[in-house]
Structure 1
């Protein structure tokens, strides 16, 4: 099983979790996060969200994040799926799943990977709103979440 998949098609959470823990009797904990497209952002209705990425570069960046999670936490397996293309509200957009012997390691690693993904993964998001299309900027709260892991977000170009 590959650790990272960037794809346009939806994913089956149950099947992904079953595959991640298959035939690994050491697994005592599985933690996962599934993110969906919201119908509102910054007070505005969102009709669609379009995600773009650089193939190859994005996967390499996420693989490095996973390597860092393995260095920080006692993990058995990790699976990250991120969708790209045109998505509608309620569509699944991201899956982060982690296995370990105990829940604490899984919870922490899952949260670490999501914080890292929100700030460091090279994705570009464009929302369609009644006011027109707009690119979604990183949030200060996402950078603060990353900082608690001892990682500083790179400065934004401006």
Structure 2
């Protein structure tokens, strides 16, 4: 099936099998490998991207279902000559990553957490972010990073 995906502000024409996931289209066809394939079962959150500003699991979203939506991946948050996105900067400053594998999905979920209004308390943040697993257990630092970035994102 021929589709058009708008990813990080750029439209891409692709011919895909109707069973192709958004994750596979991003990684294999568009070579945007920042979005990670963790469990491939929708249980770990490593593949989280934003679709029209809301978080989705790219391993559970068919590429054909994403046609017409604005997809944002970790690569789309800051360009080469731009400063880091406030959430990326907060993750760095709070050391909210260890091995780094889950970090792209964590950052994308964290942005949605703030944008969707679920970052008022640490409890809300922990509940919202519970779908993103971190084997290194950096959870307290992730919560701190979201708390730090929240005021900057609420004013965007």
- TM-score, length of structure 2 as denominator length: 0.31
Structure (1/2) with the larger strand percentage: 1
Which one has more relative contact order, counting CA pairs under 8 Å at least 6 apart? 1
User: Comparing both structures, which one devotes a greater share of its residues to helix?
Assistant: 2
